[in-house]
Structure 1
Amino acid sequence: MNDRPLQPSRRAALGTMAGLTAAFALGTPPARAAAGSAYVMAYFTESPNGDGADYGLHLAVSTDSLQWTPLNQNQPVVTPSGGTGGLRDPFVLRRQDGTFVVLATDLKGTDWSLQSQYVHVWDSADLRSFSGYRRLKLHDLATHSWAPEAYWDAGRGQYGIIYSAVNSSGHNVIMVNYTSDFVTASAAQVFFDPGYDVIDGDLAVGVDGVNYLYFKKDQTLVGARSTSLAPGSFTVFSTPVAHGGTEAPILIRSQATGTWFLWGDTYTPNGVFYAWQSAGLASGTWTAVDQRLYTQPLNSKHASIQPITATEYTGLLATWGAPAWNRLKSYNHPARYVRHADFVGRIDEYPFDPYADAQWTLVPGLADASGVSFRSVNYPTRYLRHSDYRMALAVNDGTTTFAQDATFHRTAGLADPSWSSFRSHNHPDRHLRHADHVLRIDPISTSTDKADATFSVCS
């Protein structure tokens, strides 16, 4: 449940297929998923000034659980029609019959004083359509039902729904209800209460006979474990993990390597995801993942990740489409993205508003169709071009000079061949690079130059 304060009274206690075709033409297709190696992320969106706020269900897909492709142009695939009319903290669970259920907090915006005893629920066969929308009541307490998640409890033969609520203890605890159909649920009971404020529980069930629960404590992510799923059976064991104020843990295991990843969502700055990795959950220790290796969906907040099949991955892309735009991520400053600001080309730290300043349509080169030109999404008559070797966003005046200045040839990354570099069309001894965070074209010779001139073309 991102970016929310403790309650004051309790503080002391507590694209379309055409877009796909265009991407393939430019050599930047979403990676194809091997059998059983793909993932779907559910999230909502917010941005620092609210330009990117949307409280519907958003989806993204990945083949490695690290690099993500937003679906439906990063617009919602479904939005609640009841309650507050918006959601936060969506969670996707694959049910025992292979279909999916989606749960989410019933809250639109950030008015934490609103108290809902309900959560949003949808059914879906394949996440390509959604049916049976309803709100499920979890308790009669004068408190919230934040960040719901669900799991299969084989011993009970039922699903458990865990969520954050304030119990008689006076601080947030993790509650649980049991259900067979996500239409009705048992009475609420306390699932985990270590004696201090905890929210945002995320479970990994049955890992070498142990169940792991990660949660937010004092702006950090902490783990507890139990050999059963019985309420009250979990004990804290892990070393806290954080990057600034961190919440919304996600545990996901790579289907390719077996590596465990722990994602966390920070709210200072607004909505930045960080990832850590571990060879196994038993140690309770984590190592930060290089930010070059992962990219969150644009403006994404408090997400969940669910493994899917290659067929489901392909079906989601076919139904919702990959973005018709791209972002460019800096190699040696991976927290920064190429953007325009006052029509000057530069790299700035994510997130920022207007967020569309960092969205680009990569079109065939204006001077040479085998090259590429960068057309602004929010100023579609303007392109990145160089003038006196400095990059600016300018209106295409139709001249040959403009076309040449705005055309680049994409090459293997000068610092890393799995990334990309961009050679100037009319100054072929120069490449696009940043210097003091400002974009320009320069001759490249040193290792620093090469790193400055290397970018990831991502969504």
Structure 2
Amino acid sequence: MTPGPHLSRRSFLGMAAATPLATTGVLGAGAGTARAAGTAYVMAYFTESPNGTGTDYGLHLAVSTDSLNWMPLNQNRPVVTPTEGALGLRDPFILRKRDGTFVVLATDLLGTDWNYVSQYVHVWNSADLRTFTGYHRLKLHDMNTHAWAPEAFWDAGRGRYALVYSAVNSSGHNVIMVNHTTDFVTASAPQVFFDPGYDVIDGDMAVGVNGVNYLYFKKDQTLVGARSTSLDPGSFTEFSTGVAHGGTEAPTLVKAPNGGDWFLWGDTYTPNGVFYAWQTSDLASGTWTALDQRAYTQPVNSKHCGITPLSTTEYDNLVTRWGAPGWNRLKSYNYPARYVRHSDYTGRIDAYPFDPYTDSLWQLVPGLADSAGVSFRSVSHPTRYLRHYDYRIRLDVDDGTPAFAADATFSRTAGLADASWSSFRSYNNPGRYLRHFDYALRIDPITTATDRQDATFRVGY
């Protein structure tokens, strides 16, 4: 977000703020419980792209089996959109309630109209995230300030859900507020949950981890943690080493599939929301190690997300209901911030994000010259395919000739630098592989370790 009168929730603390991801700690009975074997994850988010072609302020969903690499659902289109208030949302969060159903919370804000002040948050109920019912807005306070980045968790001691969010207090800086509710229809009077005396925003919780509750938040442009053995307002004390990658906001704690490690996600507010992730084996240590970007891939254009564990059946049901994408993206192995795209009808790898983002979407179809191979059809220019010409890769119209078909066909193999990734051998020049060189794509013989890395790609979404 960008600054408004009290600055934006995405650019507030130094100038910024934001939130991805709900923690495993907000699952009904107990936060911080280990993820059960065979389960998966769902991410809620909205979308923005550099020039707006991929921007949508509705609820988007993606799924993952490892909490790191994500498959957008519904072709990365919204599954539901607000019909009240600002008619848009930011910062969505999914809570699994104690009865096993879900509630979706989100900021009542369309785009970047920071002058719009809403004391409400959007609320949907859902039995399975395939249908959404009971839409309404929940009023949280009567103050002349916002209610940004709502999240919730079960407070067992109070027998109620705690709904936390960011707002400006009487001293003029952002704090984390809390209201308590049993039904997300009515709520108790607001209280200040966390106010260390400086601007904080985007609170994310992990509750009951070895008897300790953790609150991560944005301080200046850094993600920082506080902790308490209770859930009482005012009881949390900052303790962790801050992490950031540029201006970072929207902290999200996620229990790793192995049940021992934790991931901390953060969202940069420029340029247009790049997610970064850190890992720790000991949440109590407050220290984090940055993950290699090869390990994770965010949904295209995703911003300020929330992550919630699912069962395998729920994962399968969501894919059945909303569908897998009809396209893929290809990430570079040794430049994992870059993706294969076409620009001026030439193939290259460029740093995410960019517009038109559809230039990086590909349909991997049976090879034009040999159906056992693969050809790359452009989503944005569906009559055009990647093909080599004088060993350089171009995006050309299929002219129907055998020569074009052969130039546009590749054999997919295990990745030359990492067998879990992919490499692509030219069909009619089988001694050469698709690779990047000075960010441009071409086909070359592969002889060195650097060549092997240049010729290795992750096929994802």
The two structures have a TM-score, normalised by structure 1, of: 0.94
Structure 2 match to 1:7: 5
Structure 2 match to 1:250: 252
1:38-58 alpha-carbon deviations (Å, 9 max, x no partner): 000000000111111000000
Residues 34, 117 of structure 1: CA spacing in aligned structure 2 closer, same or farther, 3 A cutoff? closer
Which of 46, 49, 73 is equivalent to 1:47? 49
- Superposition deviation, residue 291 in structure 1: 0.5
Q: Distance in 2 between matches of 1:37 and 1:420?
A: 26
Q: Mark the runs of 5 or more structure 1 residues left unpaired by the alignment.
A: 15-32
Q: Distance in 1 between matches of 2:304 and 2:295?
A: 20
Tell me which amino acid in the other structure corresponds to 1:301.
K
- Superposition deviation, residue 255 in structure 1: 3.1
1:360 has 2:358 as partner: no
Q: Distance in 2 between matches of 1:437 and 1:255?
A: 34
1:75-133 alpha-carbon deviations (Å, 9 max, x no partner): 00111111111100000000000000000000010011110000000000010110000
Which of 392, 397, 402 is equivalent to 2:399? 397
Structure 2 counterpart SS, 1:186: coil
CA contact (8 A) 1:87 1:120 kept: yes
Mapping for residues 266-277 of structure 1, pairs under 5 Å: 266-277=268-279
Structure 2 counterpart SS, 1:73: helix
Structure 1 match to 2:77: 75
CA contact (8 A) 1:172 1:199 kept: yes
Q: Distance in 1 between matches of 2:59 and 2:272?
A: 19
Mapping for residues 55-70 of structure 1, pairs under 5 Å: 55-70=57-72
Q: Distance in 1 between matches of 2:179 and 2:323?
A: 36
CA contact (8 A) 2:13 2:199 kept: no
- Superposition deviation, residue 7 in structure 1: 3.3
Q: Distance in 2 between matches of 1:306 and 1:41?
A: 7
- Superposition deviation, residue 421 in structure 1: 0.1
Q: Distance in 2 between matches of 1:192 and 1:8?
A: 18
Structure 1 match to 2:231: 229
Structure 1 match to 2:29: none
- Superposition deviation, residue 268 in structure 1: 2.1
Structure 1 match to 2:112: 110
Regions of 4+ moved over 6 Å:
9-14
Structure 2 match to 1:29: none
Q: Distance in 2 between matches of 1:270 and 1:432?
A: 29
Which of 439, 442, 450 is equivalent to 1:440? 442
Mapping for residues 30-429 of structure 1, pairs under 5 Å: 35-429=37-431
Tell me which amino acid in the other structure corresponds to 1:158.
R
Tell me which amino acid in the other structure corresponds to 2:140.
L
Cα-Cα RMSD: 1.5
Q: Distance in 1 between matches of 2:344 and 2:14?
A: 47
Structure 2 counterpart SS, 1:314: helix
1:252-286 alpha-carbon deviations (Å, 9 max, x no partner): 00132421000000022220000000002100000
Aligned length: 439
CA contact (8 A) 2:4 2:115 kept: no
CA contact (8 A) 1:37 1:256 kept: no
Q: Distance in 1 between matches of 2:300 and 2:324?
A: 13
Tell me which amino acid in the other structure corresponds to 1:180.
T
Residue identity over aligned pairs, in percent, reads 74
Tell me which amino acid in the other structure corresponds to 1:352.
F
Q: Distance in 1 between matches of 2:400 and 2:421?
A: 31
- Superposition deviation, residue 35 in structure 1: 4.6
Tell me which amino acid in the other structure corresponds to 1:172.
N
Structure 1 counterpart SS, 2:451: helix
1:278-314 alpha-carbon deviations (Å, 9 max, x no partner): 0021000000001001000010000011011011011
- Superposition deviation, residue 428 in structure 1: 0.3
Residues 176, 446 of structure 1: CA spacing in aligned structure 2 closer, same or farther, 3 A cutoff? same
Q: Distance in 1 between matches of 2:447 and 2:169?
A: 62
Structure 2 counterpart SS, 1:445: coil
When structure 1 is superposed on structure 2, of 266-275 and 328-337 the one drifting more is 266-275
CA contact (8 A) 1:249 1:263 kept: yes
Q: Mark the runs of 5 or more structure 2 residues left unpaired by the alignment.
A: 16-34
Structure 2 match to 1:23: none
